[in-house]
Amino acid sequence: MDKYDWFEKTGYTPHAEQREFHDSDARFRLFVAGRRWGMTLALTKEAEVMLMEPGTKGWVVADTLDMVEAIMSAMHSNLEMRVPPPWNVNRPLEYPWGSTVEGKIGQRPETMLGVDDVDWIVFDNCAYSDKRVFELCRNALKQPRTVVVKQRWHRRLIHRILPFWCKPKTESLPGGKMVMATTPQGTMNWVYHLFSSIRSAECSGSIEYKDWWAGSYCTYPNTPEDIELMQRSMTTNQYRQEVLGQFVEADPCPIGYTRHEPFSKGKLIIMDDSENTDKLEENDDTTQKD
């Protein structure tokens, strides 16, 4: 079944930015986005498509058990498969068409050791997990390889064809795929360095990350009704990170406070708080004189 046919059947209509993610056929995909962009939903739908391939083995990875259960529960409901509660995260779930899926928690990386036969992995909120979890997931994927295809010859042809004419037929098999999504978590995080390396390689034409695709998206084109509430409770850097989906440094927490213009204009305004700063300096002078 085509990917978008399955989306339509399950009532999922991806917006333009989600389509850009789904259309990529890269082996490794990483996208960062603001809150409520639809990261988990897009990951879940992509996992369903890969799970429907017969005979595949997949992992659902997240930092906490709740995140893993949320994705797997949504997958099971869409596939109309009943799972008896409670289910064991470390036990793979088997499907009638021969595919299996297993949940992995980032806080327990020891459960990912010694595996190298996984066909696909979805990694939600990867910035909240340690870099070691990412490396273990990457090592658990099947590697691209070339196999010899067995050929069947008719009995009469076997005696007529010389042995050196019967060259073995080979077939290239793609490696396992991994899809990662997260909200940015500062510029000291391993996700930031990986994202920057992928983008730099794309700009320079390097083939070091030729199997990678990276995308960055903001929240407000999709959910404008919630932006005002976020603006009231966030500083500038928090707004850039959680809503605009940008990698920013730690918030310096200046004396002057910050607010944002209405969402439709899409600009940031730093309020002039010089009067309050002058008053604070005057109070400091008076206390020193006293």
Reading the block at residue 235, the tokens are: 């500083």
Please give the Cα distance from 81 to 68 (Å, whole number). 17
* Segments in 173-215 forming alpha helices (H): 190-204
Please give the Cα distance from 77 to 80 (Å, whole number). 5
Domain ranges of the chain: 3-146+174-217, 222-290
pLDDT of residue 287: 45
pLDDT of residue 186: 79
Reading the block at residue 282, the tokens are: 């005057």
Instruction: Write out the chain's pLDDT in tens, 290 residues.
Output: 688 998 988 889 998 889 999 999 899 999 998 888 888 999 999 999 999 899 899 999 999 888 888 888 888 777 765 444 445 555 778 888 888 898 899 888 888 888 888 999 999 999 989 999 999 999 999 887 776 666 555 555 555 554 545 566 776 777 899 999 998 887 888 998 999 999 888 888 888 888 899 988 887 666 666 777 777 777 888 888 888 888 887 654 443 344 443 333 333 333 334 443 343 344 445 444 44
Please give the Cα distance from 134 to 39 (Å, whole number). 18
Query: Which CATH code fits 3-146+174-217?
Result: 3.40.50.300
**Taking the model in full, what pTM does it have?**
0.74
pLDDT of residue 278: 46
pLDDT of residue 141: 92
CB 54 within 8 A of CB 94: no
pLDDT of residue 119: 93
Cβ of 241: how many Cβ atoms within 10 Å?
23
